[in-house]
Amino acid sequence: MSKRRQLRRFDLRQIEGIAELIGVDEAGRGALAGPVVAGAVLVTKEFLEGRWAVAKGGRVNDSKQLTAAERDELWLEFEALVAQGQIHAHFGVADVAEIEAHNILGATKLAMRRAIAGIYAPDAFEQKAEPDLFASDEVVANFKPTVSCRVLIDGLALRGFPYPHRGIVKGDARSLCIAMASIIAKVTRDRLMTELEPKYPGYGFAQHKGYGTDEHREAVLRIGRCPQHREMFLRKLLAGRTDPAQMDFLTGAD
């Protein structure tokens, strides 16, 4: 069995006993500039056992392992699957001001929450008692049963997150719905960064998408920061020193 086909098998195991899975992943957490973006993709057992997942799901992988052309092609196929009602997909964005206000982890949680909320509100997952048979019509009409859905988030489980979820370490390489979400997040963020290129020329946002490449670092040192730069990420760079704990944030990896 190919490694990529194992992603679908993983989700089939995760969905046992429930109706739906939502995979969640982010892009841009380690960039020097621009927003952090999260993607969320809902799949069902019917989809996982269906024609597209069986025949074409093997092309899905962690977004960082795909070319831009491969990601764009899959994006178009995801749009078709959404239009057909086979999956649900959404994205959420936390901007630079929110990254500064909540730190990168808090902003990532915010983007993930917004992505999932495009599919289900947090209260859809709350455990609720059966309504009283003698309750008013209004109470009965407003009763919402708990959804039969499991949320899988790439990485460790998140504290203080409003959705019950499971953290899947390296989930974008293990789960089909998380890998699909990673593509949604990556393509969305890349397009947002490309749109920033003419607004803030000289940095090369369309090329490096805000990550800490040599070209980007040199541009910041030469012309200074712009409103899309994350001050907390640039502080040590502009001071001429780099905290070893931040080295992974200064590379081109998500």
pTM, full prediction: 0.87
Assess contact for 182 and 63: CB atoms under 8 A. Answer: yes
Domain ranges of the chain: 5-192
Q: Name the token pair of 19.
A: 């109706």
What are residue 25's DSSP bridge partners?
39
Per DSSP (E only), the strands in 1-61 are 20-27, 36-44
The encoded tokens of residue 27 equal 């892009």
> Cβ(161)–Cβ(105) under 8 Å?
no
Give Cβ neighbours of residue 46 (< 8 Å, ≥ 6 apart): none
212 vs 215: CA distance, rounded Å: 8
pLDDT in single tens digits along all 254 residues of the chain: 455 579 999 999 999 999 999 999 999 999 999 999 999 999 999 999 999 999 999 999 878 889 999 999 999 999 999 999 999 999 999 999 999 999 999 999 999 999 999 999 999 988 766 555 555 555 545 556 679 999 999 999 999 999 999 999 999 999 999 999 999 999 999 999 999 999 999 999 999 999 999 999 999 989 999 999 999 888 867 665 444 444 343 334 44
pLDDT of residue 246: 42
* CA-based nearest residue to 15, from 141, 131, 175: 175
- Domain 5-192: which CATH class? alpha beta
What pLDDT is attached to residue 249? 38
Q: CA 93, CA 243: separation in Å to the nearest integer?
A: 27
Residue 175 φ then ψ, to 5°: -120, 135
20-27 and 149-154 strand pairing: parallel
